[in-house]
């Protein structure tokens, strides 16, 4: 099964996320349902079902104090003219949490991350951006780059199963770990 470790964004931020996404309604992007927007701490990929219990137990050893984070600031990967992902930034002690997750999962010899960890919540995927709309897109990014969404307490992580469907991914929480 396809799994990842995540921090969910609280329900009270969902309307604000939907509002930000609506500002991009002139573009044909693939938006993430605001109800499932999250911060991916570690993508594990395809894992045999019989390994899930061991991974869950390993995650129980994650050691990090709960912390407050601010959610806001809009950005893209890899860069505005060639955007593939639109994201919201997240402040706070995510580096420590990520490091502890990596350490707890090290016995499983999972694939190394291709990019340095960057705490963010994906809002949309850009499949195609017509040249004539590129400047409008870049201007909108500039207007929203410092947008504030809100704050939240990070006090748990979740091991989630991802099932890909034509309507978008369906996530199921397999295991939750309270941190601290």
DSSP type of residue 47: -
The pLDDT of residue 114 is: 77
The pLDDT of residue 115 is: 82
The pLDDT of residue 175 is: 98
- Residue 142 maps to which CATH number? 3.90.1140.10
**Catalytic-role residue among 14, 98, 115, 120:** 120
Structural domain count, the chain = 1
The pLDDT of residue 22 is: 97
**Full domain range(s) for residue 76:** 2-178
CA distance 43 to 169: 14
The pLDDT of residue 132 is: 94
Residue from 21, 14, 6, 10 nearest 140 by CA: 21
**Catalytic-role residue among 38, 98, 115, 175:** 38
The pLDDT of residue 2 is: 96
**DSSP character string of 141-179:** HHHHTT-EEEEEEE-EEEEEEEEEETTEEEEEEEEEEE-
**175 belongs to the catalytic site:** no
**115 belongs to the catalytic site:** no
**What does the pLDDT profile of the chain (180 residues) look like in tens digits?**
999 999 999 999 999 999 999 999 999 999 999 999 999 999 999 999 999 999 999 999 999 999 999 999 999 999 999 999 999 999 989 999 999 999 999 999 887 777 889 999 999 999 999 999 999 999 999 999 999 999 999 999 999 999 999 888 999 999 999 998
Alpha helices in 23-171 (DSSP H): 52-59, 94-105, 131-144
């Amino acid at each position: 099964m396809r799994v990842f470790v995540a921090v969910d964004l609280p329900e009270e931020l969902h309307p604000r996320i939907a509002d930000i996404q609506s500002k991009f309604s002139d573009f044909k992007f693939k938006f993430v349902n605001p109800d499932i927007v999250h911060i991916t701490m570690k993508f594990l990929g395809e894992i045999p079902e019989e390994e899930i219990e061991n991974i869950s137990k390993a995650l129980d050893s994650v050691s990090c104090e709960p912390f407050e984070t601010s959610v806001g600031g809009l950005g893209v990967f890899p860069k505005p003219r060639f955007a593939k992902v639109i994201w919201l930034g997240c402040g706070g002690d995510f580096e420590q949490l990520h490091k502890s997750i990596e350490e707890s999962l090290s016995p499983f010899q999972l694939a190394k991350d291709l990019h340095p960890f960057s705490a963010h919540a994906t809002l949309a995927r850009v499949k195609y951006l017509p040249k004539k709309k590129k400047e409008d897109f870049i201007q909108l990014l500039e207007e929203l780059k410092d947008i504030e969404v809100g704050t939240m307490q990070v006090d748990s992580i979740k091991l989630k199963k991802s099932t890909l469907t034509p309507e978008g991914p369906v996530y199921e929480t397999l295991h939750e770990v309270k941190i601290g």
